[in-house]
Copies of this chain bind each other. A is one copy, B any other.
Amino acid sequence: MSPLLKIRAERDQMSAIERRIADFILDNAHLLRDYSSQQLADALQISQSSVVKFSQKLGFKGYPDLKYGIGESIAHHRAQESTAPRTAADPFAASAEALWRRKQEAESETRLINPPAQIRAVAAALTAATQVFVTGLGEDAPQAQALALRLALLDIRASCPGDAFVVSAALSGAARNDVLLVLCEHGRQPALAQLGRELRARGGKLVSVTRHSANPLRSQADLALLVSAHDERAHVEPLLYRAALQHLLDVLYLELCETRRDALARLQANAERLRRLLES
């Protein structure tokens, strides 16, 4: 039980002096940090030994232990309060925090609409592929690039060609089982849809990552991952979309790390190599 609660609970069965100590602590818990047993005793005009005995009677090893317990107690209390809807001091900090919360919602929703089995299936397809192409346009491009880098570090043959034409060229050499992973927020870009058709014609697998609303790319895909992110402010929604997409891809990556044989060892070796390269 929390020390503060314990003190309050036992307060009624205490002697007069003990009760004075209890009251002081309950009222001034936050000041206790700077009080020695002697100072506390002085403040209450009682003897130092009474303070120590009070502590021991409550089950603490001694006065410093009581103090430690009270400290924990108020920190715990504060933490719980701070979890509740907060009133941010700075308007700026407030909007930063609001953004943070909205992102969490988007990430949660995204997690819920992608069943674990689906993510596992995508991971399996990536593992089975001889070659993986990742592509995305506009804001999705950097994400695609980052994902390709991650996959490469896991010794998955992944590339992220600069533009759609290059992808198309690369696809001409694609074999069965190869995977094209397309990031496309609205799933409506004709160029990407076209790439998907080319790949499927050659027996490859198309994995789409789009918003959860119905769209051409998604309906064409062998495997579809979905992202949910909504905000009435046009400048905020892309931030939510990216965070949710990021999280989805992170979870996929985590799955790959945890299920591929030797993944972590290889990852470490590759990362080490990359680090040396960059620092040279």
CB distance from A253 to the nearest CB of B (A): 7
CA A107 – CA B247 in complex, angstroms?
13
Instruction: Identify A92's interface contact among B116, B139, B141, CB under 8 A.
Output: B116
Chain B residues contacting A73 (CB-CB under 8 Å) are 75
Chain B residues contacting A267 (CB-CB under 8 Å) are 234-235
A206 lies within 8 A of chain B by Cβ: no
Copies of this chain held together in the complex: 2
A 219-248 contacts with B by CB, 8 A: 234-236, 239, 242-243, 246-247
Instruction: Identify A83's interface contact among B78, B83, B143, CB under 8 A.
Output: B83
A96 lies within 8 A of chain B by Cβ: yes
The answer to whether B235 touches A257, judged by C-beta atoms less than 8 angstroms apart, is yes
Q: A72-B71, A92-B120, A278-B189 are in contact. Are A99 and B142 (CB under 8 A)?
A: no
Residues on A close to B: CB < 8 A? 33, 64-65, 67-68, 71-80, 83, 90, 92-93, 95-97, 99-100, 103-104, 107-108, 111, 116, 119-120, 137-139, 141-143, 145-146, 149, 188-190, 234-236, 239, 242-243, 246-247, 250-251, 253-255, 257-258, 263-264, 267-268, 271, 274, 278-279
Known contacts A72-B75, A79-B80, A96-B254; can you find 13 more A-B pairs with CB under 8 A? A71-B72, A76-B76, A79-B79, A90-B116, A92-B119, A92-B255, A93-B116, A100-B104, A137-B278, A143-B146, A235-B257, A235-B264, A236-B254
A-B contact pairs, 5 of them (CB 8 A): A103-B247, A189-B278, A190-B279, A234-B264, A235-B257
